[in-house]
Structure 1
């Protein structure tokens, strides 16, 4: 007798309306979610794909600009074409990892902000601090990002990591990877 109310026309109408509303709201949520930008959208940059050489030229050229604008004394610099998605799959970007000396008579907390100021004068724009490293700075110019910070293991060294655009769509999944020494290209 208690379940008799479920068989009434009013109860069935109420249940049908509730179910219909739930389905409608769920469908709307899925549709809106497809329109919302995600972090993965940053990998789909507009513009034509870059060749391997263009990716290298972009990253190494930006590293040369960083060294020149901030008058860094580079100790080592390496280049690598790396995946923007995961370890292997396209798109790829050129990346430069370089170390530079921090003058012996200058503390890193004074020197690295001066480096950022010199880069700003050279047309670079300072972004949010990337964190994770003492005195870290994030800079960008012409679709290239540079992260600058003090080396965690050696306080007399600074590190600059330069990343080009994620527009190289060549298939490098089977390539042997390894850093290529570009110290002479950047310092000279």
Structure 2
């Protein structure tokens, strides 16, 4: 039996369809509309899915992957610039290619961890505000305050993020952390772990 109600005066043919009514122009138009709508909706759904990729997809398949050297250059150059602009008394600087996903798996980003001495006799808040002013006047955009650390400031420029703050565990010491983009897809899961000393590269003028 069919669930379609039988219109008065219309009798289904042997195939269970309304022979006359569906052959008419209005009938064909209705069928065409009914078949076209799901296709349009399906196409729209696929388009939306492509436009709104999941964060994990973007992370796993970054556009324009970079080499190991490019990952390093992306953070070493800004670190050198920050030191030069602010006159930081750099104590040490380390570089690490770190996973953006977990502890080991790609993609990776370049990172610099730099420590510097705070000038004696100057208020820490005033000194860090001076650093922020120097960076801001040279194209570094300041973001939301860094509440995790004392006198913290967060800056960004050319897809690189820099965080400057006072080391709570070491009085008289400041820290700059710089992070590049997650675009390195090379496999570094078996690399030795640990920071590589780049103090000379960061403090030497170019």
Structure-1 residue corresponding to 2:194: 178
3-state DSSP class of the match of 1:139?
strand
Gaps of 5+ in 1: 1-30
Q: Return closer, same or farther for 1:38/1:73 CA change in 2, 3 Å cut-off.
A: farther
Of structures 1 and 2, the larger Rg is shown by: 2
Encode CA deviations 1:128-150: one digit per residue, 9 max, x unaligned. Answer: 12321011000011110001000
Tell which has more relative contact order, 1 or 2 (C-alpha 8 A, sep 6+).
1
Superposition TM-score, scaled by structure 1 size: 0.77
- Give yes or no for the alignment of 1:133 onto 2:149: yes
CA contact (8 A) 1:108 1:155 kept: no
Report the CA distance between 1:36 and its aligned residue: 5.6
CA contact (8 A) 2:75 2:160 kept: yes
RMSD value, Cα? 2.2
Give the number of aligned pairs.
Answer: 158
Superposition TM-score, scaled by structure 2 size: 0.70
**Structure 1 runs, 4 residues or longer, greater than 6 Å off:** none
Report the CA distance between 1:40 and its aligned residue: 4.4
User: Which of residues 69, 78, 89 is equivalent to 2:85?
Assistant: 69
CA contact (8 A) 2:60 2:106 kept: no
Structure 1 CA distance for aligned equivalents of residues 61 and 150 of structure 2: 31
- Give yes or no for the alignment of 1:83 onto 2:99: yes
Between Structure 1 and Structure 2, the one with more helix by share is 1
Structure-1 residue corresponding to 2:68: 52
